[in-house]
Chains A and B, each alone.
Chain A
Amino acid sequence: MRNGQQTPMKVGLFIPCYVDQFYPQLGIATYQLLEKLGVRADFPRQQTCCGQPMANTGCEQDAKPVYRHFARTFAGYDYVVAPSGSCVYHVRKHYDVVEQTPEVQRVRQSTYDLFDFITSVLGVTELPGRFPHKVGLHLSCHGQRGLHQANESEMTPVRDGQLSRLLRSVDGLALTELNRNDECCGFGGTFCITEEAVSARMGQDRVQDHLQNGTEVLTGGDMSCLMHLEGIVRRRQLPMRVLHAAEIFNAALAQPSKPVSTFVPGAVVAL
């Protein structure tokens, strides 16, 4: 993949709309984590949203201008990286309804979930740093079943995935063994409002699984699921913190105990 030229890859950071507005600390953690891994990401300020909320509600036609805007905004980058498997899945899978200009095709191919980017593109499989907590990983469906970032219990009993590997590599971090490893949390976009009763119940059941099995810090790769779960944790005043995995890694890497060895900073990745 790498051709050895020293032109740094151009990485555009996509911070999903609700993260930008309500979880800026996740945007900051993502930016800083990438920086610690040798990637200076750009944040194109014209960006808004991937269009998923409208499309999942059936309003794909209304969302088309948002798709085109996204593609235009990120056209100049080698990679688009977002701390949300769900948005990435949407761009990759559902941008097929607008004209497939070279720009749109390129953006669809080069948009990555943060941990997929770290693992597959940067080739980083271990992260140094220390985080001595019992961490419960919520596998978000679009990253797992959509982007195949983790094994699925429908297919295999082996529980493995990009994010669980990265988390396990952090010193002192213990992962919770859950009763149901990959059940949906019930967020589901506008589902969380229109099917409020079932959505809330699904979230409560997920949180209960973590609570029962000793999770101190509930984490995941998708802030939308975590926003929903955090809403339940806070409503019930449960002894559990909710952090996106980028926040964990960024905190753990505050003082790197060993250099990140598997990645050559500044190496360009051929598309």
Chain B
Amino acid sequence: MNHPQRAAVFTSDAERTTWHDETLWFVRQKRDKAVYAIPEFQQLRQLASDIKEHTLSRLDEYLEQFERNAQANGVQVHWAADAAEHNRIVLGIMRGVGATSLVKSKSMLTEECHLNPFLVQNGIAVVDTDLGERIVQLREEAPSHLVLPAIHLKKEDVGETFHLHLGTPKGEKDPQALTEAARLHLREKFLVGQVAITGVNFAIAETGAVVVCTNEGNADLGVNLAQVHIACMGLEKLIPRTADLGVFTRLLARSATGQPVTTYTSHFAKPAPGRQIHIVIVDNGRTRQLGRPDFRASLKCIRCGACMNTCPVYRRSGGHSYDFTVPGPIGAILSPNIDLHQHSSLPFASTLCGSCTDVCPVKIDIHTQLYKWRQLIAQANELPAAKKWGMKLLSSVLARPGVYRFGGKVAREGLRLLPHGLTHATAFNPWAKARELPEAPKQSFREWFEQQSSIPTGQA
């Protein structure tokens, strides 16, 4: 299935679509309020964009600086070229310390690498400790949003899931009670977790420290209770200095949820005595994206999810319709880099309205990149045949005024004379499923214009 097909399934439940749209629009509005309250917000965006652009321009130097400083802090640094290597490294660390249980706070990178199934296959018990992540993990689903992984689910759905897995009373849907159940359940897991994995929001080159932003404190609890902390990061997470961090923490939570700052902003620099910190730095296609001038800016992304909350298509098609770790507009410009063929429908899952670009806290020109991916997808011959040949035909008509004029007349006359049931047959006219076609006039504008004989004509 491609995006339109999955989106059609989603929208077929009209009520749920309304709910999903309104829930995410509410988050977008919270973001707006937070943004309007900061007079220098647009300057902050520019500054963040500039810092990221600078960092990407000398990423190799900053990565090496980061590695040196982290190692000097007693941290073990690992490099992974791709997802498979990342997973092998994590498993290797676990086996090295004889661990069989893992608690994991939110990490889209480990989702991207499909770490969980790999570890489970290798006999490791993995528990996601972010509440939303835990819910989707229990349901054996993928997160549907970067920041709100279970946003596709209603409280009734969560109640059902918890009844099945955590033994809450059937029909329980009170958020307070459900959260309390999750809390107790997770507390047990935290206590036995031998290794804790976290993602990384920012990695600071000048100190070798990593910064993890959460609202639930689950990262801190996991890391502080476990003997070993593995922090997994994409190589684009670098920022040069600690002084740069404030620019991003001011932008991140405001853009994501409208909070001034995440509840926890935790800095991890040195392992406590007798404990270990490992950092796994992953490429997995990122240097390839860095080498694409039109798309390298996508690596500035700080994973706030604002482009999803604002995207009118995402809100009405759901995160799973993208079938990629990172859904929404940003996912639609990251995914073709990973597999152009598989994700060729994603850059078309947009009206190019540009709202994503305007909310992006690091000013990624998302809708322009969507447009550019479309060109590459067409050049790679990945367009559906009807689209490809239809556009070739249209181009050849529109480059020839005489043919255009004749074609327009035929189309109008056809629309006028053919029965409504035929022109609006949904089997070959998807427009007509929910819309009427325009009423075809007898006369085109140009025919009217020519009739105005008193009016001097143009340069025909």
Q: List chain A positions with a Cβ less than 8 A from chain B.
A: 12, 15, 17, 19-28, 31, 42-49, 51, 53-63, 65-66, 69, 73, 76, 94, 141-142, 145-146, 152-157, 180, 183-184, 186-205, 227-228, 230-232, 234-235
Contacts and interface: CB of A to CB of B under 8 A. Distances in A.
B interface, over-half SS: helix
B375 A231 contact: no
18 contacts: A20-B408, A23-B441, A24-B448, A44-B458, A44-B460, A57-B378, A58-B391, A59-B378, A65-B395, A155-B35, A157-B36, A191-B350, A193-B430, A197-B8, A198-B316, A203-B434, A231-B431, A234-B435
Contacts of B412: 21-22
B443 A141 contact: no
A106 B394 CA distance: 26
Contacts of A73: 459
Contact of B11 (A21, A23, A49, A197): A197
Given A145-B355, A198-B11, A43 B404 contact: no
A229 B133 CA distance: 39
B391 A62 contact: yes
B353 A184 contact: yes
A202 B312 contact: yes
Interface string B373-413: 01111110001000110011011111111001000100110
A62 B438 contact: no
Contact of B375 (A12, A42, A44, A58): A58
A247 to B, nearest CB: 13
B316 A190 contact: no
B391 A57 contact: yes
Contacts of A232: 434-435
A194 B435 CA distance: 14
B387 A194 contact: yes
B394 to A, nearest CB: 6
B42 interface: yes
Contacts of A60: 375, 378
Nearest to B380: A58
Nearest to A152: B358
Classify chain B's interface size: 35 or more
B4 A195 contact: yes
B398 A51 contact: yes
A256 to B, nearest CB: 21
A51 B371 CA distance: 14
Contacts of B4: 194-198
- 10 interchain residue pairs of minimum CB distance: A231-B435, A188-B351, A27-B445, A58-B378, A45-B460, A200-B434, A58-B374, A184-B353, A154-B358, A141-B353
Contacts of B36: 156-157
Given A59-B392, A141-B351, A42 B374 contact: no
B354 A46 contact: no
B163 to A, nearest CB: 32
Contacts of A204: 434
A12 B458 contact: yes
A61 B78 CA distance: 44
A154 B395 contact: no
A146 B351 CA distance: 13
